[in-house]
Amino acid sequence: MKHTPLARPTLLLLAASLLLGFHAHAAELAIPAGVQFERGIEFSNIADQHLQLDLAQPEGPGPFPAILCIHGGGFRAGKRESYDAFCLTLAQKGYVAVTITYRLAPAFPFPAAVLDSKAAVRWLRANAAKYHIDPQRIGVTGGSAGGHLAQFLGVTAGVHDFEGEGNLEQSSAVKCVVNFYGPSDLTQSYGKSVDAAEVLPLFFGGNLEQKRREHILGSPLYWVNPNAAPTLCVHGTEDKYVGFDSLHPLHFLSHRDLS
CATH of domain 8-246: 3.40.50.1820
Half-sphere exposure for 125 (CA within 13 Å, toward CB): 19
Task: Give tens-digit pLDDT for 73-102.
Answer: 999 999 999 999 999 999 999 999 999 999
Whole-angstrom distance, CA of residue 211 vs CA of residue 204: 7
Task: Give me the sign of the Cα torsion angle 63, 13, 97, 149.
Answer: positive
* More reliable by pLDDT, 9 or 186: 186
E-strand spans in 59-126? 64-70, 96-100
Say whether pTM exceeds 0.95: no
In the DSSP assignment, the letter for residue 144 is T
| Cβ neighbours for 196, distance < 8 A, ≥ 6 positions apart | 186, 189, 190, 243
User: Which pLDDT does position 253 carry in this prediction?
Assistant: 35
SS3 73: coil
User: Which pLDDT does position 21 carry in this prediction?
Assistant: 44
User: Which pLDDT does position 236 carry in this prediction?
Assistant: 78
Task: Give tens-digit pLDDT for 186-236.
Answer: 998 888 878 889 999 999 999 999 999 999 999 999 999 999 999 998 887
Q: Are 40 and 52 in contact (CB under 8 A)?
A: yes
Of residues 106, 185, 175, the one with CA closest to residue 148: 185
